[in-house]
Amino acid sequence: MSPYIISLKNASQQYDGRVILDGINIQIRKGEFVTVVGPTGCGKSTTLRLILGAELPSHGEVTINGETLDRPNRDRGIVFQKYSLFPHKTVRENVMFGLELELFNLFDPIMRTRKWMQKRKEFRREADIYLERVRLIEHADKYPNQLSGGQKQRAAIAQAMIMKPQVLLMDEPFGALDEGTREEMQVFTLEQWKETQQTVLFVTHSLEEAIFMGTRLIVISQYYKHENGQEGAKIVKDVEIPWPHPRSTKIKNMTAFKDLMEAIRYEGLNPLHLQNIGNFDLSHKDSIRDLV
Amino acid sequence: MFGISILIYGIASYNRHKENPSDKLIPTAGQMAESFRKAIFQPVITEEYDEEGELIVTDQPRTLKEAYKAGRLKEMLKNGEWQLWKDTKASGYRVLIAVLFIFIGILLGLYMGMFPYLEKLLYRFVLFFDKIPALAILPILFIIFGLGETAKIALIVIGVAPTLILDTYLRVKEIPKEQITKGQTLNASTHEIIYKIVFPQIFPKILDTFRLNFKAIILFLIAGEALAAEAGLGYRIFVVRRYMDMATIIPYVIWISLFAFFIDYLLRRWIDKRFKWLENN
């Protein structure tokens, strides 16, 4: 069993007294592909931002490898739906950028010292390896706005992966893509995941996408019975997805797949059906049942 | 359009000169060329008198050609002994210093947009400051700084800098939050985020704002010079106004416009060339 990387202990978040997330407990092992779904406004992006360190929880604790977070850093890479790439840099420069920042100082680039030129060449070579992997090498000198939506997201994945983060966070990365490209990107991302053994946390609003891609599925929802009037979303479902990787896109048409989708939609995403806290399906072996 | 207006001017000028050959209001092209030639080619002669009030004839060269022959061309150009050159140099110097200060203002706007406490401290202040008509405080500037260069430069800076500070601030605010978070996940420090992510993205847009505001810079320059100066493009046209010397004023106006247009053109070309990534936006 691989060790835990991410751990959220009883993490809550509120803005101006309004509770968004209430007592979230998650433990994620290295190498997993965890997908997070939930109704609009349930706080799935907030959960992601807590793990990123862009927000600090109002209660509870978020740790990566046992360390509490204070701001985003290179341990956690991110791919957003939009604006992941820097528009003023070419695709290659975007991918190299993180490496360059590593040893940035004022003196070397201005003086163009031999050491710096050497390093730059190395970075370039490494960036090209990643660009090759995401099949963008022939577009390396283009600017992001000359790329298609799918290409942009592939470049963004390369840009995040080159830093070799402990966790790759993806915030609805394919939300802006059309159906065909979207499926292509799903298969592509799974390939990359298999190859690199990268831990991935993938937030999406598409249930189909979540079931198809993840090894583990977490549903966050505000639709459950509040006994003492307490609000805020909780984890209402935390399950392992049974089909082994690599998966064919055909499984999306299987009856079992559709049944699972329907079940989750009914339990977690339906505002008319409110579960009791005790009935949550937290059957994943790493999930923590919190009986408050 | 240029052709038509020149033609109309030519006809008007011709008719007036037919009636009154010494008409000053609408000088002919020839008169303007002559006075412009004088402005360019004749040195400003510093006249010296001896004890009896007689003009001392110095060996000072009187044309570019003479100066060149005497081997003093460079030296005389440097000392600004030709009227147009002297005026352009004086004005250019003022504009240059003012622009330097305006660019410091741009940095201020950048920091205001990046740091919430600076924003709280300065935003409303700059917003109000921007509304003060700079020309209205010109007397105050003259009183505080005297009639020297400082007041004229301060007028330009006070007139234009707030606009650019605010523009920079708003542009920084337009940068999506994701870009800054992204930078942090690539291990960028706050300064790297400011100077390698935010600033390069807004800089060409600020340069465009600067281009549009260059007119205002010239405007404030002329206003400052008109009131008190010893040299300068604005100063010259207001001085020769006393003699209704249209033959000098018109070429000067054309020269100032060309000067502004040329700077605008250079900036525009440079932006297009330097910031290729803007093309498909």
Q: What is the 3-state secondary structure (H, E, C) of chain B?
A: CHHHHHHHHHHHHHHHHHHCCCCCCCCCHHHHHHHHHHHHHCECCCCCECCCCCECCCCCCCCHHHHHHCCCHHHHHHCCCEHHHHHHHHHHHHHHHHHHHHHHHHHHHHHHHHCHHHHHHHHHHHHHHHHCCHHHHHHHHHHHHCCCHHHHHHHHHHHHHHHHHHHHHHHHHHCCHHHHHHHHHCCCCHHHHHHHHHHHHHHHHHHHHHHHHHHHHHHHHHHHHHHCCCCCHHHHHHHHHHHCCHHHHHHHHHHHHHHHHHHHHHHHHHHHHHCHHHCCC
Q: What is d(CA A56, CA A53) in angstroms, rounded to the nearest whole number?
A: 6
Contact list in A for residue B176 (CB cut-off 8 A) is 82-83
B275's tokens: 């910031």
Q: B18 with B124, same domain?
A: no
Residue B130 placed within a domain: yes
Contact in structure between A160 and A77 (CB atoms under 8 Å): yes
Q: B97 with B35, same domain?
A: no
Q: B253 with B141, same domain?
A: yes
B58's tokens: 């110095």
CB contact under 8 A, B186 and A87: no
CB contact under 8 A, A163 and B185: yes
B191 interfaces chain A, CB cutoff of 8 Å: no
Number of domains in chain B: 2
What is the H or E stretch that residue A97 is in?
helix A91-102
B182 interfaces chain A, CB cutoff of 8 Å: yes
- My answer on whether omega of the bond before A246 falls inside 30° of 0, hence cis, is yes
Q: Which residues pair with A26 in a beta bridge?
A: A8
B195 interfaces chain A, CB cutoff of 8 Å: no
Q: What is d(CA A11, CA A43) in angstroms, rounded to the nearest whole number?
A: 12
A148 interfaces chain B, CB cutoff of 8 Å: no
What is the residue range of B15's domain? 2-41
Q: What is d(CA B227, CA B135) in angstroms, rounded to the nearest whole number?
A: 12
B184 interfaces chain A, CB cutoff of 8 Å: yes
The one-digit pLDDT tens for each residue of chain A (292 residues) are 678 888 888 888 888 878 888 888 888 888 889 999 888 878 888 888 889 888 888 888 888 888 888 888 888 889 998 888 999 999 999 998 888 887 766 666 676 777 778 888 888 898 898 888 888 888 888 899 888 888 898 899 889 888 888 889 999 888 888 888 888 888 888 888 888 888 999 999 888 888 888 888 888 888 777 766 667 788 888 888 888 877 887 888 888 888 888 888 887 777 777 777 767 777 777 777 665 4
CB contact under 8 A, A72 and B176: no
Q: Cα dist. A212→A228, B179, B270 in Å?
A: 36, 29, 50
CB contact under 8 A, A83 and B182: yes
Contact in structure between A35 and A23 (CB atoms under 8 Å): no
Cα angle: A190, vertex A192, A193; to 5 degrees: 60
Q: How many CB pairs under 8 A join A and B?
A: 68
Among chain B residues, the shortest Cα distance to A147 is held by B280
Name which of A71, A75, A101 to mutate to probe chain B: the one with the most chain B Cβ atoms within 10 A of its Cβ: A101
A33 interfaces chain B, CB cutoff of 8 Å: no
CB contact under 8 A, A72 and B185: yes
- What pLDDT score was predicted for residue A202? 92
Residue B123 placed within a domain: yes
In this complex, the residue of B178, B186, B276 whose CB is nearest that of residue A98 is B186
Domain-wise residue ranges, chain A: 1-75+169-292, 86-164
- Min Cα–Cα distance to chain A from B246, Å: 49
In this complex, the residue of A54, A97, A165 whose CB is nearest that of residue B181 is A54
Phi, psi of B58 (to 5 degrees): -90, 170
A87 interfaces chain B, CB cutoff of 8 Å: yes
Residue B99 placed within a domain: yes
- Min Cα–Cα distance to chain B from A78, Å: 7
CB contact under 8 A, B185 and A143: no
Q: Which residues contact A291 (CB under 8 A, 6 or more apart)?
A: A278
- The closest alpha carbon to A13, from A64, A38, A49, A40, belongs to A49
Cα angle: B278, vertex B280, B281; to 5 degrees: 65
pTM score over 0.90: no
Contact list in B for residue A87 (CB cut-off 8 A) is 201, 277, 281
Contact in structure between A12 and A19 (CB atoms under 8 Å): yes
- Min Cα–Cα distance to chain B from A143, Å: 6
A168 interfaces chain B, CB cutoff of 8 Å: no
Q: What is d(CA B156, CA B238) in angstroms, rounded to the nearest whole number?
A: 18
CB contact under 8 A, B187 and A83: no
Residue type (1 letter), B26 = I
CB contact under 8 A, A71 and B197: no
Q: Which residues pair with A7 in a beta bridge?
A: A27, A63
Contact in structure between A273 and A264 (CB atoms under 8 Å): no
Contact list in A for residue B191 (CB cut-off 8 A) is none
Strands A234-240 and A216-221, bridge-based pairing? antiparallel
Contact list in B for residue A77 (CB cut-off 8 A) is 185
What is the H or E stretch that residue A131 is in?
helix A114-133
A64 interfaces chain B, CB cutoff of 8 Å: no
Q: B32 with B89, same domain?
A: no
Among chain B residues, the shortest Cα distance to A49 is held by B181
Name which of B171, B178, B182 to mutate to probe chain A: the one with the most chain A Cβ atoms within 10 A of its Cβ: B182
Residue B77 placed within a domain: no
B190 interfaces chain A, CB cutoff of 8 Å: no
In this complex, the residue of B187, B275, B277 whose CB is nearest that of residue A98 is B187
Residue B263 placed within a domain: yes
CB contact under 8 A, B176 and A54: no
Strands A33-37 and A59-64, bridge-based pairing? unpaired
Residue B204 placed within a domain: yes
ipTM of the complex: 0.84
Residues of chain B with pLDDT below 70 are 39-81, 280-281
Burial class of residue A22 (count of CB atoms within 10 Å of its CB; 0-12, 13-18, 19+):
buried
Contact list in B for residue A160 (CB cut-off 8 A) is 185
Residue B110 placed within a domain: yes
CATH number, position B260: 1.10.3720.10
Q: B29 with B121, same domain?
A: no
Fold adopted by A1-75+169-292: Rossmann fold (3.40.50)
Residue B56 placed within a domain: no
Q: B35 with B109, same domain?
A: no
- The closest alpha carbon to A150, from A171, A126, A179, belongs to A179
